[in-house]
Amino acid sequence: MRMRRLGLALAGGAVGLGIWLGAPLLAQTAAPPVAPAAAKFLTGGYLSQGGVPSSLTLIPPPPAPGSAAMARDEEAAKAALALRGTPRWDLARRDADLFTPGSVGTFSCAAGTALGPQPSPHIDALLRRAARDLALAVYPTKTRYMRPRPFMTDGAPVCTPEIDAMLRRDGSYPSGHSAIGYGWGLILAEMFPARSAELVARGRAFGDSRRVCNVHWLSDVEEGRVMASAVVARLHAEPAFRADLEDARKEVAGLGAKSAPDGACAAEAATLAGV
């Protein structure tokens, strides 16, 4: 049943990361059919399952009910509700996508050049492969605590209502989207050193979009960044990652002749500056 849910969600192009990552843990089970755009996420990352840094080692348990940390989470969640229907809400919905071919293009404005499967295939492939390791790192803690998400408490809408039911079955803490987004920002910053601040900031905002979407608490997002930092550091010890990173850096040199992101970048910058 769990594998069936995984297949159905991937076929829709999005899924709660905890359920999505059940696949490698059930590697001996026949995989369900999935949409071609999502199938690549069922392939392995750079690290063996045992080599991925574990969130149970690196981060504390989620904030306890009634604690000061929980009060901080609740305050941040309340502030996010005020953004519903704004450009920041719309951006958060776009940031929720990890599975379509255009998802890496989210970082085009921050990079100062168009990114994606066509203009930058090496960069795209490296980030997608690393995404598996970044997401796997949060999975042990998600599973242990199965923290309810903000919308399950406040009853307010989320920016991706089509996967509401799926999210209810996936632990909130820490955020896999935050780990992936921040990790992508860190890796891209190595390829585009002149744009490093913009790329890391965009990775941070990518994770905070989950708070804006009302699907993650602030502490979920923050601890996702901790896990991203640990995983990216660990990836640098892997020869395959270093080789792909070198290929990606070479690809960067040829991107200057490609078309840069359009005027939407000004709108994105204004949106993020207003939060």
DSSP labels, 165-193: HHHHTS--SS-HHHHHHHHHHHHHHHH-G
Question: How far apart, in whole angstroms, are the C-alpha atoms of residue 99 and residue 150?
Answer: 23
Cα(237)–Cα(13) distance, rounded to whole angstroms? 32
Determine which one of 5, 88, 216, 225 is catalytic: 216
Residues 93, 162 contacting (CB under 8 angstroms): no
Q: Closest Cα to residue 42, out of 30, 50, 51?
A: 30
Which pairs with CB-CB distance under 8 Å and at least 24 residues apart come from 258-264?
258/113, 258/114, 258/119, 259/114, 259/119, 260/112, 260/113, 260/114, 261/108, 261/109, 261/112, 261/113, 261/114, 264/109
Annotated catalytic residue 122: no
User: Could you tell me the two tokens for 152?
Assistant: 């399950």
236 is catalytic: no
Which of the residues 124, 133, 170, 220 is marked catalytic?
220
State the catalytic residue, choosing from 5, 88, 129, 177: 177
Catalytic residue among 195, 210, 211, 225: 210
Judge whether 177 counts as a catalytic residue: yes
Positive or negative torsion for Cα 18, 238, 103, 87: positive
Catalytic positions are 177, 210, 216, 220
